[in-house]
Amino acid sequence: MLKPSLIALLAELTAGHIIPRQTDIDYSRAPPNLSTLANNTLYSTWRPKSHVLPTYGQIGDPCMHYTDPATGLFHVGYLHNSGISGATTDDLVTYTDVNVNSEPSIRAGGINDPVAVFDGSVIEHGINGTPTLLYTSVSYLPIHWSIPYTKGSETQSLAIARDGGRNFTKLAHGPVIPSPPFAVNVTAFRDPFVFQNPQMDSLLEKTNGTYYTIISGGTHGTGPSMFLYAHYGDESDNFQTWEYLGQWWHEATNTTWSDAGWAGRWGFNFEVGNFFALDQAGYNPSGEIFTTFGVEWSYAPVVPQVSGEHDMLWAAGKQSIVNGSLKFEPTMAGRLDAGRSAYAAAGKAVLSSSKASQKSGAPDRFISYVWLTGDYFERVHTPKGQQNWTGSLLLPRELSVGYINVIDNDLAREKASWRVETEHDNGTVTLATMQQVIAREPLAAFKSNTSTVMTQPGCIRSSGGTFEHSPKSKQYMFEASITFPKRSNTTKAGFEILSGPHETTKIYYQFSNESVVIDKSNSSAAASTNDWVLTDPESGKLRLFDIPSANGTEIETLHLNVVVDGGIVEVHVNDRFALSTWVWSWYEDSRNIRFMVEDGEVEFGEITIWEGLVNAWPQRGAE
């Protein structure tokens, strides 16, 4: 945050380029209409320091992640500037742009992709052992599930990494998957995700180690789908030939896994489908099959090309051969992030041999980066020139299978974001779900790389109250726990953050609809003069189970991990829930953390705050 009334010309060294930034903003007074300010004046106001985003400009879907076999460095990619840009990391904490000013490594404008480059994924040991990108090459726009599909709009093409990934060079031939399956009237056909899977090999009677890709989309009138292809032929084919194996997964139009809202809706069209297998430790090719995917839908009536709703979901399930083709059937599904701006997650298997994992001693993992769109899918008009960046990726997450032993009652028995793994003869069941936590390296770095550690003693409370020590900045993480003595439908308990005389943001749990809520109604004084500052609440469903205790039964404790990084707020709960959003807190003095309890009495455990986080971009200079 900049000092109030400071008129400064910040000379900033960014990869060799001087970026002058004039700042002339008083954060102790009510904000004006921010779109009337000079360009670049809001660059630092809400910019996160520990997250992945380009030097300037707009970030789109994460994609094209890979570990380079030649260096062991992990590459994180994202759509940017009509192409895909990337950064490398050897610790998942700090990143280095592969190109100056985060310029793309591949750009639209070739014969296969005259109009756009959409998401792609990387075969790490690809052509001649070189990382090889399979990506969606676009020839016609618009494309949207609510309008007829223009033939030839989306094809899948190859490009090869050169120069350490600074350039992905397109191969001088046509698309390797030149059209959607024969006579299928698709809603979309994009975002190929390449993987290997021994269970698929055996069910399909393919050679061990066969490469597969799923391509996301759907069919007009019948619903969303993931189309499955297998690489056909041996290494000498150089990934030129792909055999269509049918719709690996299909759901009926605008249906849902759970009317109670545990898993959004399947919608009209799938996007960004990822395929991977997990066990309790992390990535395991022989483990349980998972997919993460985005869905597009809308409230009726459908307004062409205005897809109101997006859900970022996960599902786990079983594969079997039905009528000769391989089908996926979910056994549980949920939201990867319940935030309305959280979407288009892309993950990658990061093996223990990857440099970051060697440093931290991590096993094979599946690591996913979720996108947090900065302009709500282009539906609000943010002051783009003033901020000079839009959107960010969220912190990397480790996904695995999580287990919890709970009392066997109605709460455990529901078609939801968990499934019953084992029934015991003592009145309990073990549930399985998808575990998701902030990757261990950034989590550890936020804790170790600061001398500003504050603790707030635990207490039993029935009302609010300000912490003894609150952060001095808007960059910190805190961990807290709340135990509820009973399930009262009127109790709300949690915290207020970024709180001051003018603004406050409430994060709380309530039993009435079993949800974690971020109340943004009073988060930003900018809302009254800027209609792009959304004030409606964010929420997502989380069930606190009954668990065995010394006395019989107690309600599972709520464990919160909250990261505030400039305008980003990530709320991670009980290793299985995440809710992320933008909070455009304006005032300099909106920094306090407060307890929040309404109508009830709850027990807070000791709270620890680590202030400062970590500068993820040391090579870009101070931001």
Enumerate binding residues for ligand NAG (CB under 6 A): 19, 33, 35-36, 39-40, 56, 93-94, 104-107, 148, 167, 169, 185, 198, 208, 220-221, 254, 297-300, 302, 322-323, 384-385, 388, 405, 424, 426, 428, 445, 449, 487, 489, 512, 529-531, 548-551, 614-615, 618
Closer residue to ligand NAG in complex, CB, 142/465: 142
Closer residue to ligand NAG in complex, CB, 447/589: 447
CB of 265 to ligand NAG, least distance (A): 6
CB of 39 to ligand NAG, least distance (A): 4
CB of 554 to ligand NAG, least distance (A): 7
- CB atoms near residue 513 (< 10 Å): 11
CB of 240 to ligand NAG, least distance (A): 20
- What's the alpha-carbon Rg for the chain, to the nearest Å? 24
Closer residue to ligand NAG in complex, CB, 168/587: 168
Distant-in-sequence, close-in-space partners of 52: CB < 8 Å, separation ≥ 6: 62, 76, 78, 87, 95, 369, 392, 393, 616
Closer residue to ligand NAG in complex, CB, 128/208: 208
Phi, psi (degrees; rounded to nearest 5) at 35: -70, -10
d(Cα 356, Cα 335) in Å, to the nearest integer? 27
CB of 42 to ligand NAG, least distance (A): 10
CB of 547 to ligand NAG, least distance (A): 9
- Cα 296–Cα 377–Cα 517 angle in degrees, nearest 5: 80
d(Cα 259, Cα 568) in Å, to the nearest integer? 30
Closer residue to ligand NAG in complex, CB, 51/497: 51
CB of 106 to ligand NAG, least distance (A): 5
CB of 594 to ligand NAG, least distance (A): 26
- Residue whose C-alpha is closest to residue 491's, from 538, 544, 550: 544
Give the 3-state secondary structure of residue 281: coil
Closer residue to ligand NAG in complex, CB, 467/484: 484
Q: Would you say how long the chain is, in residues?
A: 623
d(Cα 196, Cα 348) in Å, to the nearest integer? 12
CB of 206 to ligand NAG, least distance (A): 10
d(Cα 463, Cα 475) in Å, to the nearest integer? 26
CB of 466 to ligand NAG, least distance (A): 27
Q: Which residue is nearest to ligand NAG (CB)?
A: 385
Give the 3-state secondary structure of residue 618: helix
Distant-in-sequence, close-in-space partners of 301: CB < 8 Å, separation ≥ 6: none
- Cα 301–Cα 307–Cα 309 angle in degrees, nearest 5: 95
Closer residue to ligand NAG in complex, CB, 171/518: 171
- Residue whose C-alpha is closest to residue 453's, from 471, 480, 473: 471
Give the 3-state secondary structure of residue 262: coil
State the first-to-last Cα distance of the chain, in angstroms, to the nearest integer. 10
Residue with tokens 């209609």: 531
Closer residue to ligand NAG in complex, CB, 390/499: 390
Supply the DSSP symbol for 164: G
Closer residue to ligand NAG in complex, CB, 236/286: 286
Q: CB burial class (10 A; 0-12, 13-18, 19+) of residue 324?
A: exposed
Cβ atoms 201, 208 nearer than 8 A: yes
Where b means 16+ CB within 10 Å and e means fewer, 253-280 reads bbebbbeebbbbbbbbbbbbbbbbbbee
Closer residue to ligand NAG in complex, CB, 488/592: 488
CB of 256 to ligand NAG, least distance (A): 7
Closer residue to ligand NAG in complex, CB, 125/162: 162
